[in-house]
């Protein structure tokens, strides 16, 4: 079972790339962030025509998340939107069960800068996510949290750690929040395996960030212990970032052995 996450920065613009990527990779589950689409205009027909089902929640202009699942994998079950107990107008979380695996698709707030109100919202949001996930893991021991975390967990996930030190995406409180998720018993699938140095999942559109590999690793797949035991690979696919009109994020994909 191949499960993946991709911040597409507008599904309206990136839908052809998403469909091409699914056909190429044959991913079973793809979590999308920043769809930027209201539910009434979500391209469900095109996705179904490609052999996938979808659960989604969105809004105009900002945020928006979706879970796509290959029809052969069966129904998308027990769909839940948002973080229970955390009222939030921003559509950043959707969860569902596919093939016995609880999939949580998350778009963590960006935070803008460490001295902004948005940063405080990000930290509150992450605390609520952790508390909610603690309970979800009791209900669903086979749980994967996939998405755009907007956190580079360690300096090795940053092209220029000195420049980014204490900046948003890299600050100590954000990294502590990331470790708080690991403390729930989750494992960073990417770090289960030997990986190339200077591996990133996001590159700034400006200043030829991608060509110079000036990036950050901020998109992650965290696995509960039973799933980590089944994980045989985790990769960042940089190919879509090379396309015309790319998202600024690359997809991340983990492979799980049969249970």
Partner DNA sequence: ATGGCTGCTTTGAGCAGA
Q: Would you tell me which residues interact with DNA (CB under 7 A)?
A: 7, 9-10, 12-13, 34, 36, 60-62, 109-110, 112-113, 118, 148, 150, 168-169, 202, 204-207, 216, 218, 245, 248-249
- Which residue, 28 or 157, has its beta carbon nearer to DNA? 157
CB 94 within 8 A of CB 80: yes
- Rounded CA-CA distance 19/173 in Å is 37
The set of residues, in sequence order, having a beta carbon less than 8 Å from that of 105 and lying 6+ positions away, is 5, 31, 32, 33, 65, 66, 67, 93, 94, 95, 146, 147
The set of residues, in sequence order, having a beta carbon less than 8 Å from that of 23 and lying 6+ positions away, is 50
- Which residue, 74 or 161, has its beta carbon nearer to DNA? 161
Smallest separation, CB 105 to DNA (Å):
14
- Rounded CA-CA distance 77/235 in Å is 27
Smallest separation, CB 73 to DNA (Å):
27
Smallest separation, CB 206 to DNA (Å):
3
Smallest separation, CB 216 to DNA (Å):
5
Please tell me which residue in 52, 107, 119, 190 is annotated as part of the active site.
Answer: 107
Please tell me which residue in 28, 200, 219, 249 is annotated as part of the active site.
Answer: 249
- Which residue, 28 or 248, has its beta carbon nearer to DNA? 248
- Residue 190: what are its φ and ψ, rounded to 5°? -60, -35
Specify which residues 252 forms β-bridges with: 5, 236
Please tell me which residue in 148, 157, 188, 219 is annotated as part of the active site.
Answer: 148
Residues annotated in the binding site, as ranges? 7, 34, 148, 150, 248-249
Whether 190 is a known active-site residue: answer no
Whether 107 is a known active-site residue: answer yes
- Which residue, 13 or 78, has its beta carbon nearer to DNA? 13
Residues annotated in the binding site for Mg(2+), as ranges? 7, 34, 148, 150, 248-249
- Rounded CA-CA distance 149/33 in Å is 10
Distance of CA 67 to the CA centre of its chain: 10
User: Which two three-digit tokens encode residue 3?
Assistant: 């499960």
Smallest separation, CB 194 to DNA (Å):
25
The set of residues, in sequence order, having a beta carbon less than 8 Å from that of 153 and lying 6+ positions away, is 175, 178, 179, 188, 217, 220
- Which residue, 12 or 242, has its beta carbon nearer to DNA? 12
CA nearest 39: which of 8, 66, 10, 78?
66
Which residues are catalytic, by number?
Answer: 107, 148, 249
């Amino acid at each position: 079972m191949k499960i993946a996450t991709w911040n597409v920065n507008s599904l309206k613009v990136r839908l052809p790339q998403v469909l091409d990527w699914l056909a190429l990779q044959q991913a079973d589950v793809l979590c999308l962030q920043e769809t930027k689409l209201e539910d009434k205009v979500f391209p469900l027909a095109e996705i179904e025509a490609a052999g996938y089902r979808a659960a989604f929640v969105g809004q105009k202009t900002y945020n928006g998340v979706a879970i796509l699942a290959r029809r052969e994998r069966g129904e998308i079950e027990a769909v839940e939107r948002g973080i229970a107990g955390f009222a939030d107008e921003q559509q950043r979380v959707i969860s569902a069960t596919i093939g016995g695996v609880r999939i949580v698709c998350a778009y963590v707030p960006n935070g803008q800068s460490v001295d902004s109100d948005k940063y405080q919202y990000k930290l509150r949001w992450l605390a609520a996510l952790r508390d909610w996930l603690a309970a979800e893991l009791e209900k669903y021991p086979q749980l994967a949290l996939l998405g755009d975390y907007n956190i580079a967990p360690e300096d090795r996930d940053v092209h220029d750690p000195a420049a980014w030190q204490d900046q948003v995406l890299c600050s100590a409180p954000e990294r502590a929040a990331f470790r708080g998720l690991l403390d729930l018993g989750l494992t960073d699938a990417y770090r289960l395996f030997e990986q190339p140095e200077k591996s990133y999942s996001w590159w700034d559109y400006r200043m030829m960030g991608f060509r110079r590999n000036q990036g950050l690793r901020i998109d992650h797949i965290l696995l509960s212990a039973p799933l980590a035991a089944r994980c045989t690979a985790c990769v960042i696919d940089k190919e879509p970032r090379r396309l015309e009109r790319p998202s600024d994020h690359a997809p991340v994909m983990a492979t799980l052995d049969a249970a």
